[in-house]
A = this chain, B = another copy of it.
């Protein structure tokens, strides 16, 4: 909010680190909000960042890790000695540990796991085997489970006794399992309010509770929570054994992550997030890898112009309109891409419904193609006084808009069917084709009436 004050925040932090004042650092970090912590930490140099985590107690360092993004956190964790990284990770919840280890390379992750408490290490190894956007990848192993023959009083005693541990549990339900850890039922916290304290859980629980399979997809989970207004769902394996719980927040967060990746991918930031605190060469190298592909596509598209060089020489005014026709068609096509991607993500269109999308988009293409074609044709006519130039330019834009809009609508569906990521591939693919077609239409239409231009 107050930029000048905020700038002072990270300078203050840097001073405290350089003065070796762990108590004051911790008090300082507790006094600012998570967004400010993330900002301040990102502005430290990497020596100060490592020093910060080393100075703090593991549980305090874990709070810092929770405040910053996973990408940033993984960068910090990587720089620490494995023992220290392990001590910090042990303070996080199971889902978060798996997310962070997943961002590290295999060797770093293994080195850290080896330093963890054997039980937690075993759990972390297990969690790493689940794919990120599945129930297994999103679940927490922190939940409350009891046996059916336990009584209300037993549960209350346990809650009382372990209240400190449970304080960090994000759990609204108690699960009932059998001797083999198979899920048998569920109780809400409030179901304990009314019955006698000698009542057995098996008499109070909802049996055959809602549950999801460990390999349920993000879409399955989204559907589940849209259908059921619950505060969590138990995750079971094929043998009905209880493995963990997924909270609706985790599903929302994964959704958000997916949208972010989509947005970054569409803009040409691929292979993970980029922050300006990362090293220069890493940032420019990753961007360049995507740009290099694009320059090849651009060369292919522009080669159409080279084929028609003579036409162009004979009517040099066309050169003004070549980039306009290709740019405008690209814009029209990208609108259709966005609508298709949105409808796909909401489940309002199936990847197989190509004909429906083509029909719907072609009609928009015809209307907008005519409107834009008439507009650009009029500009060309007014500028050079040549009705033929107007016809060539306007006609090319009209036809190319129809092509671009239909193609833009279809591409995300086709990519989805081919199991490619529409966010990464749609835009370069569309632009290349609409550029080529745009150049071709302008120049080939012009070749037909060249003596009149």
Contact = CB atoms under 8 A, between A and B. Distances in A.
Quickly give the copy total for this chain: 2
Contacts of A353: 3
A64 to B, nearest CB: 13
A352 interface: yes
Nearest to A349: B276
Interface in A267-322: 267-269, 273-277, 280-281, 283-284, 287-288, 290-292, 294-295, 298-299, 301-303, 305-306, 309, 312-313, 316-317, 319-322
Contact of A338 (B268, B291, B339, B352): B268
**Number of chain A interface residues as a range:** 35 or more
A318 to B, nearest CB: 9
Given A306-B320, A319-B312, A326-B323, A35 B347 contact: yes
B159 A364 contact: no
Interface string A155-194: 0100110000000101010000000000000000110111
Nearest to A155: B193
A350 interface: yes
Contact of A276 (B33, B317, B343): B343
Given A284-B364, A431-B327, A36 B274 contact: no
Contacts of A320: 302-303, 305-306, 309
Given A302-B320, A319-B312, A324-B298, A338 B376 contact: no
A147 to B, nearest CB: 19
Contact of A328 (B260, B262, B280, B295): B295
A376 B294 CA distance: 12
Nearest to A379: B299
A267 to B, nearest CB: 3
A213 to B, nearest CB: 14
A263 B335 CA distance: 11
Given A335-B287, A338-B269, A347-B38, A309 B302 contact: no
A312 to B, nearest CB: 5
B364 A295 contact: no
A236 to B, nearest CB: 19
Interface stretch (A20-28, A109-117, A367-375): A367-375
B298 A229 contact: no
A302 B324 contact: yes
Interface stretch (A83-91, A121-129, A246-254): A246-254
A7 B353 CA distance: 10
25 contacts: A3-B350, A33-B223, A35-B347, A67-B226, A172-B172, A172-B231, A231-B231, A252-B256, A262-B263, A267-B337, A269-B339, A273-B342, A275-B348, A276-B349, A284-B364, A287-B335, A288-B372, A294-B331, A302-B320, A303-B320, A305-B319, A306-B320, A312-B316, A319-B319, A323-B326
Given A268-B338, A322-B322, 8 more contacts: A39-B348, A67-B226, A156-B193, A264-B338, A273-B342, A288-B372, A299-B324, A323-B323
